[in-house]
Amino acid sequence: MIAEPDSAPPAADGLASARVAVRVTGLRKHYGEVAAVHDLDLTIAAGEFFTLLGPSGSGKTTLLRMIAGFERPDAGRIDLGDRDVTRVPPYSRNVNTVFQDYALFPHMTVAQNIEYGLRVRRVARPQRQDQVGRALDMVRLTGLGGRKPAQLSGGQRQRVALARAIVNEPEVLLLDEPLGALDLKLRQEMQLELLRVQREVGITFIYVTHDQEEALTMSDRVAVLNQGRLEQVGDPIEVYERPATPFVAGFIGISNLIERDGALITVRPEKITLLADGQQAAAGSHVEPGVIREVSYAGVLTRYVVALDSGGELVVARQNTSAPASTHDGRGRQVRIAWQPDQASTIPQGREEQSAPGEA
């Protein structure tokens, strides 16, 4: 039957003492002259919802495929638990993969799709039926086992793919942009469903996405990749509030980077106050004058692009708690903006960023 969770997902600061689900060491993969994954080290704890986040070409899918066994690394090692699986074929690794295109058998019913892996493993029919029923209940598709995939919505088909993966009780479930084909509303609903299922079954999820909001919403920890390199690993709050590199600051959320006194700092738009005429800034605030260059209405908030007198520009987000400002008002107006120093982060200025090649 579907396994019960061993424990709650480990906190990032407790990783050293947590049971390890996946460890990659010195992992490297080249396609010709392109380094898809470059000397990457990463440890994922058992029970984590762990997300690989990055743009096209960052190496996240290549890394996932190497963990699955679909690609063989040029160098390095992959461990599942305490077992070295670097040269072990995919069918001998206790992992399953959920793809964006579902990969369901169209001629089979929902129940037959879900039980396929159990049949391959020669699980007895009564046990198969019991496990399929539990999996259908888990993904809230009770009573739909007799339908064909063509008779289901996109969200339902994705649930079938998820049920088929978890019914085999893998150590690790790999999810390669599984919600990419869904519309926004359904995608948001499925994010919550995936998180609920992961918490209930307790399986380690390794999730690939280029969607920053999705990563922040769902993950225990996030690894941000860029050109095959690991830029930062941390919980969603850490990665968003304290980006470690200019790339992370720019890729996750709106890039608000300025240079002051030889240091590169970032401050998120919602942390900045656009002061009204005559308004005093809060005690201890850092205040800068500037000119509003652009105004854009985004429903719950209005964004202002402010060109600063001292150089650079910042985006300021103001909640539309009352009547929103017209997007035609304010452009060219002299303003002051303010933020608390502890709301800004200083970013080490390291290696140069490069434009990403094609999808890796």
286: tokens are: 């850092």
3 against 234, higher pLDDT: 234
In the chain, which residues fall in CATH 2.40.50.100?
258-347
Strands of 172-176's sheet, edge to edge?
A: 95-99, 172-176, 204-209, 49-53, 221-226, 229-234
CA distance 71 to 228: 15
Instruction: Return d(Cα 280, Cα 290) in angstroms, integer.
Output: 16
Q: Mean per-residue pLDDT for 59-64?
A: 95
Q: How far apart are CA 144 and CA 151, in angstroms?
A: 10
Q: Give the pLDDT confidence score for residue 297 in this predicted structure.
A: 86
Residue 3 has pLDDT above 50, yes or no: no
Read off the tokens for 236.
Answer: 């969603």
Mean pLDDT (the chain, rounded): 87
Q: What pLDDT shows up at residue 293? A: 94
From residue 145, how far is each of 56, 100, 108, 149 by CA, in Å? 36, 21, 10, 10
What was the pLDDT predicted at 64?
Answer: 96
- Tokens for 62, please give them: 């290549």
pLDDT band with cut points at 50, 70 and 90 for residue 277? confident
| Both structure tokens of 117 | 């892996």
pLDDT top residue among 311 and 182: 311
Mean pLDDT of 112-125: 89
The matching CATH number, chosen from 1.20.1420.30, 3.40.50.720, 3.40.50.300, 3.20.20.10, for 12-246 is 3.40.50.300
Q: Quick one: residue 77, left, alpha or beta (phi over 0 = left, psi -120 to 50 = alpha)?
A: beta
CATH class of 258-347: mainly beta
Residue type at 80? Answer: L
Q: What is the pLDDT of residues 216-260, one digit of tens each?
A: 999 999 999 999 999 999 999 999 999 999 999 989 988 799 998
What secondary structure, in 3-state letters, does the chain show? Answer: CCCCCCCCCCCHHHHHHCCEEEEEEEEEEEECCEEEEEEEEEEEECCCEEEEECCCCCCHHHHHHHHHCCCCCCEEEEEECCEECCCCCHHHCCEEEEECCCCCCCCCCHHHHHHHHHHHCCCCHHHHHHHHHHHHHHCCCCCCCCCCHHHCCHHHHHHHHHHHHHCCCCCEEEEECCCCCCCHHHHHHHHHHHHHHHHHHCCEEEEEECCHHHHHHHCCEEEEEECCEEEEEECHHHHHHCCCCHHHHHHCCCCCEEEECCEEEEECHHHCEEECCCCCCCCCCEEEEEEEEEEEECCCEEEEEEEECCCCEEEEEEECCCCCCCCCCCCCCEEEEEECHHHEEEECCCCCCCCCCCCC
| 53 Cβ contact partners less than 8 Å away, ≥ 6 residues apart | 60, 209, 210, 212, 215, 222, 223, 224, 225, 251, 252
pLDDT at site 193: 87
With CA atoms as reference, report the closest residue to 92 among 115, 69, 76.
Answer: 69
Whole-number Å distance between alpha carbons of 75 and 25: 9
- β-sheet bridge partners, residue 53: 209, 224
- In the chain, where does the domain assigned CATH 3.40.50.300 lie? 12-246
Query: Is 4 a residue whose pLDDT tops 60?
Result: no
Q: What is the pTM of this model?
A: 0.86
State yes or no: pLDDT of 77 exceeds 90: yes
Q: In this predicted structure, what is the pLDDT of residue 335?
A: 94
> What does the alpha-carbon distance between residue 343 and residue 305 come to, in Å, rounded to a whole number?
19
% of the chain exceeding 90 in pLDDT = 62
